[in-house]
Chains A and B, each alone.
Chain A
Amino acid sequence: MSRSGSLRAYLLTRVALAIPTVLILLTLVFVLMRVAPGNPIQAALGGHVSQQIIERKTHAAGYDRPILVQYADYLKDVFTGHLGQTITDKTPVTRIVVNNGSATAELAIAAFLVALAIGVPLGVLAGRFRDTPVDTGGRLFGIFVYAAPVFFTGFLAQLVFGVKLGWLPTSGRVGPVTEFTLDKPTHFYVIDSIITGNWSAFGDVLRHLILPAITLGLLVSGVLIRLVRVNMLQTMRGDYVEAARARGVPERRVVIHHAFRNALVPVVTVAGLQFATLLGGAILTEQTFNWPGIGAALVRYLNLRDYIAVQGIVTVFAIAVVVVSLLIDVINAFVDPRVRY
């Protein structure tokens, strides 16, 4: 098979596998929401609602129809982008996904950049200077930031940089006034503030992003440090590295161009998997920093026992993880030809 043919076959296989994965996840979400005890309408409305009202609302929500009909409608709604309306505050779930999902995505991307900026250089240094204080320090740092709970790191950062030093805000995605006045064509505030030329808002957005992004990014950087270090150790022992040295290539060039580039290939795979960790970690980070992301919305609607909102949000979470995994597979196929075969 030609190189392009093998790539196409690989991608088609991955896409084909993603479809049943999504279906299984959607089925699980549907079943879990239905086997949860109690009537979702009654749960959301509290304990003092008359049976008549519960029956009326249950009928209106379609919870009294056969389970297979509900399942078919649920799948249809998901694939047509209709996730329903929350029971408690009558907000379309798609609006929550757009508004809060963009907040989570912005935080996750920023955290990922932080993780790369910290994890990769420290991993490279630790690998290059094996068994030196640099290596030991890097490994200890990696273990500490990975082991420290997000809320602990976050609270510490809030106290130091927010309260003691007064440098950075401790909550929210942006200041209250900017939240109201900023035009939000994309709902990604960094982008919105740039394309609307609102530089005051841009500074505000970045200031609010720093602490949550670093808190969440540190968590993932711990994994990257160890991974990059191990890969660096392996590639530094490679024949092609020895050959480069033998040819008189400068050590810096050997490390960056020969060892580091090859060490990055497995990092791409693991970094993709870390996206799911970021989503999980984002829920805790959002709670700590009052970040209005989809994780915070999920917790809020769970507390309100709003099953329609929870079902919609969990559905989007599931699809997001599958889509990102698929993207990582695609990128991997381009970066590392071996995975295609």
Chain B
Amino acid sequence: MTRRVRTRLVAAVVATAALVASGCGGGSAGGGGAGGTIIRGTTDQPVSYDPAGAYDLPSYDVIYSVYQNLLTIPPGGNKPVPEAAQACDWTNSTTYKCTLKDGLKFSNGDPLTSEDVKFSFDRNVEIADPNGASSLLANLKSTDAPDPKTVIFHLAKPDATFPFLLTVASFAIVDHKVFPADKLQPSDKVIGSGHYTVASFKPGQQTVLEKNPTYTPTYDGDEAAKNDRVIIQYFNTSSALKLAVQQGPANGGVDIAYRSLSPTDLSSLKSASGVNVVEGNGTEIRYLVFNLKLMPGDNDAQKTAIRQAVAYTIDRDAIANNVYDGTVQPLYSMVPQGLQFATEAFKDRYGATPNVDAAKKVLADAGVKTPVPLEIWYTPSHYGPVSGDEYAEIKHELDSSGLFDVTLKSTEWEQYSTDAFTNKYPVFQLGWFPDYPDANDYTQPFYAPNKESFLNISYSNPEMTKLLADEVATTNDAKRAADFKRIQEIGAEDAPTIPYWQGKQVAAVRDGISGVEQTFDPSFIFRYWLISKSS
């Protein structure tokens, strides 16, 4: 090598090192110079940005930002208000009529008309994608679009929750000129009329949303996006996500880490420099399910007594504090706090703290021999990384009462999701996210008789069944409140399921990020358009 060549080589290496060391790449490109770009990191992976193919939170996050629904849940609210609709109302108990606002347009300039609304619902049912939510439309007989601004829904039977269904991301309005009627539109080619457009989608890597410049606010409290672009960056593990928010966008990290940091990560981030942990209401719940066919007990009375004894014995505060570091709160009804009609029926019946004496008595009265052998199943990763700790805590609580002898068993979700609902597990763990923020969504799926409940646990109570039919058939709030009060009381008394915690929505955000708290409400809609970043 000649001296000249060597000198040039050294100069090139020094220049490259300077470029790298200066951080001009990762720093400015990572976000410092990006102005209105918000970078969110998450471990959640979306399934589809076509509403007909989505029934999962990560997909919904984007769909709510890119499309409009006829109705929506406003920030902080828990009741539907018109979004694309000007107004909606019942014309009779099974007919729901909506008129559209004037001048609605998709981001490609196509007008949004009632034909698009009808098309969106019809194709959802026609495609019936396994990952979609077309099953929620089982009560929809047909949809009419008599003129460009009017949509009429005909239901098979009265359903007070139908307005809530219209707020669900799976039933967002798509452009009939763009979307095929019989198959899904690829996620990177979707068109909506919402706050953003999808600029890029790379599965497992990132989604980029860009502000829709033609969007105009449509309801009280709605506003145009406070940022120009949102980048959703996907992470394999919560530890990688935690490091990314610690580093911040200036070092190739993220502004916001939301879903799912472990409780340990969140605790450690509370003291991290430049990072704030923000919390808000959440309506995700965890509960224990009893299969009434398989659970121990010689007769129905003994089985009920065993379930009630478990309800007396479980220490919800210990689970919330010891396992989740306070990132969840104790739950005393299947209907979480924050939703209309929620009560605390389990607290009223069994108390706020464990009562082993009462548990002992209820078992003795039913002639149950103790310790009762309980085989409890959980799934170790689907519901977050601490399910193992959660069930170790529950086992400890039940075993230490002397009334139960718990055997824990676990398997991954792929197997679990089949076996749990096909009479394989006597007692098992489940979690629930709302389809829509109404008490019906937290009662009907669990307490309905076997053929109507996805749980398939052989639970049936005629009074409960009648109350469920009554509440869904009326739009009278006072009547529904009375029905739901009794439904929750019976739920606590029969205890086919035992709720034990309600999750808070928790995110770690960098200094200068605001608006995340505003979007944390029971609807679980992550409203990117409310988030801003100060320089």
- What residues of chain A have their CB less than 8 Å away from a CB belonging to chain B? 43, 45-49, 53, 57, 88-91, 99, 155, 158, 162-163, 166, 168-172, 174-181, 199-208, 210, 287-290, 292, 296-297, 299-300, 305
Contact = CB atoms under 8 A, between A and B. Distances in A.
Contacts of A90: 48, 184, 186
18 contacts: A48-B454, A49-B130, A89-B203, A90-B48, A90-B184, A155-B239, A162-B251, A163-B243, A166-B247, A168-B26, A171-B253, A175-B30, A180-B208, A204-B24, A204-B252, A287-B236, A290-B237, A292-B204
Interface residues of B, number: 53
Nearest to A175: B30
B233 A176 contact: yes
A48 B131 CA distance: 10
Contacts of B204: 292, 296-297, 300
Contacts of B246: 163
A206 B243 contact: no
B416 to A, nearest CB: 8
B251 A200 contact: no
A178 B25 contact: yes
A172 B252 contact: yes
B460 interface: no
Contact of A46 (B130, B199, B247, B252): B130
B26 A203 contact: yes
Interface in B228-243: 231, 233, 235-237, 239-240, 243
Given A172-B252, A202-B25, A300-B204, 19 more contacts: A43-B414, A53-B128, A90-B184, A155-B239, A168-B26, A170-B244, A170-B252, A176-B249, A176-B252, A178-B29, A180-B200, A181-B29, A199-B19, A203-B19, A203-B24, A207-B23, A289-B240, A290-B240, A297-B204
Given A48-B417, A48-B421, A171 B26 contact: no
A168 B23 CA distance: 8
B251 A201 contact: no
B29 A204 contact: yes
B20 interface: yes
Contact of B48 (A89, A163, A178, A202): A89
A179 B205 contact: yes
A178 B250 CA distance: 12
B421 A47 contact: yes
Contacts of B414: 43, 46-47, 305
Contacts of B271: none
A47, A181, A201, A297: residue with the most chain B Cβ atoms closer than 10 Å = A47
B39 interface: yes
A174 to B, nearest CB: 8
A31 to B, nearest CB: 22
Nearest to B33: A177
Contact of B20 (A43, A99, A171, A206): A206
A47 B130 CA distance: 10
Given A170-B244, A300-B45, A176 B130 contact: no
Contacts of A162: 243, 247, 251
Contact of A158 (B28, B186, B233, B243): B243
The binding surface of chain B is classed by DSSP as: mixed
Given A171-B244, A175-B31, A180 B22 contact: no
Which of A91, A169, A305 has the most chain B CB atoms closer than 10 A to its own CB? A169
Given A45-B131, A175-B249, A180-B208, A201 B25 contact: yes
B201 to A, nearest CB: 9
Contacts of A155: 239
A208 B20 CA distance: 10
B37 interface: yes
A312 to B, nearest CB: 14
A171 B45 contact: no
B319 interface: no
B12 interface: no
B17 to A, nearest CB: 9
A287 B186 CA distance: 27
B34 interface: yes
Contact of B130 (A45, A181, A292): A45
B187 A169 contact: no
B254 interface: yes
B474 interface: no
Contacts of A297: 204
B94 interface: no
Contacts of A300: 45, 204, 236
Most buried by A among B31, B186, B203, B251: B203
Given A172-B252, A180-B206, A205 B25 contact: yes
B16 interface: yes
Contacts of B24: 199-200, 203-204
B55 to A, nearest CB: 10
A41 to B, nearest CB: 9
A189 to B, nearest CB: 11
Contact of A166 (B45, B239, B251): B251
Nearest to B243: A170
A5 B131 CA distance: 61
B47 interface: yes
B265 to A, nearest CB: 13
Nearest to A178: B29
A208 B128 contact: no
Interface in B137-180: none
A170 B26 CA distance: 11
